[in-house]
Homo-oligomer: A and B are copies of this chain.
Amino acid sequence: MARTISMKQAINEALDQEMARDPRVICMGEDIVGGAGAEGEKDAWGGVLGVTKGLYAKHGDRLMDTPLSESAYIGAAIGAAACGMRPVAELMFIDFMGVCFDQIYNQAAKFRYMFGGKAETPVVIRTMVGAGFRAAAQHSQMLTPLFTHIPGLKVVCPSTPYDTKGLLIQSIRDNDPVIFCEHKALYDFQGEVPEASYAIPFGEANVVREGKHCSIVTYGLMVHRALEAAATLAKEGVEVEIVDLRTLSPLDMDTVIESVTKTGRLVCVDEASPRCSIAADISAQVAMRAFGALKAQIEMVTPPHTPVPFSPALEDLYIPSGAQVADAVRRTLKGGKH
């Protein structure tokens, strides 16, 4: 039965159901329980924004608070995964990857290949991404391209509670290392989610809106900005098609190309910094594989090549807006082969 719940609740439910289903699933992270060693409430936090709250009561010591040592505990999750467990480690903000990236991209990502196909590392790293929280340059980054660049990693970034539950369950069941990116600005976003457990396969983009004039390819929070743009443009008689990638690696280029083949136009929207971004990656692949289908220039909408500013006045300008997306669509509609 589907009810309307938040993305936060969808994450909590996915973890709960998978922990109940599979005793090898364990969770670890900073304050994911909270109150460790303190005199007051146990499960005092349930994560910095309360996402894992309540799981301790159900699953006890299979949730572990950690010292503030991301290399050590994320590496431990990876090591445990290589030894038959299915750990879900929380990297509180993706911005902290700089203190533990080696364990992710040189260890987890490469074991299978370096060891000649003889290792499996079914670890999930849950992490908060994105701007909008007035959390400034070191707590607001997207950074999805850095992980997508790395062979051996899978990268997931859902846009709805429904996708979140299904993709997190798939991530836990998946036999490869998965970076599961949760957009903090979507935590309270509500949507219909079935109570029963279900998995959404990786590498299947979701056409969240059909249209014939232009394709918008995006993921995460930007799906909602694209939908805003679509609503505006519809009033102008422009019907855009929106492709929500859902997983950045593996990537469903077939759906992207199918859409561009239909519309002949492409706008890639990415909340990550512009250089070597997901937007650039999709654009380049289309320019290579579906050039003939393109009727006009590809447009990319990203933040500027700057760190994320603190001031709300600036941060609101930093994050790509629905209006910017609509403008980009209008630009490519005006463009055309000479």
- Are the C-beta atoms of A148 and B276 separated by less than 8 Å? yes
CB proximity to B under 8 Å, residues A270-287: 272-273, 275-287
Hey, which bits of chain A sit against chain B, CB under 8 A?
A: 71, 95-106, 109-110, 113-114, 136-138, 145-146, 148-152, 249, 251, 268, 272-273, 275-289, 291-292, 294, 296-300, 304-307, 309-310, 335, 337-338
Chosen A-B contacts, 11 in total, with CB atoms closer than 8 Å, are: A95-B106, A96-B102, A98-B100, A98-B103, A98-B105, A106-B138, A113-B307, A146-B276, A151-B304, A151-B305, A284-B284
Instruction: Say how far A87's CB is from chain B's closest CB, in angstroms.
Output: 19
Partner of A114, one of B137, B149, B281, B288: B137
Work out how many copies of this chain go into the complex: 2
Complex Cα gap A114–B114 (Å): 39
Asked if A149 and B273 sit within 8 Å, CB to CB, the answer is yes
Residues of B within 8 A of A292 (CB): 297, 335, 337-338
Q: A98-B102, A289-B297 are in contact. List 16 more A-B contacts (CB 8 A).
A: A98-B104, A99-B102, A110-B137, A110-B307, A113-B309, A114-B310, A145-B149, A145-B276, A146-B149, A149-B277, A151-B306, A283-B288, A286-B287, A287-B287, A287-B294, A337-B337
Docked pose: A100 CA to B295 CA in angstroms: 45
Are A137 and B150 also in contact (CB < 8 A) when A283-B288, A335-B291 are? Answer: no
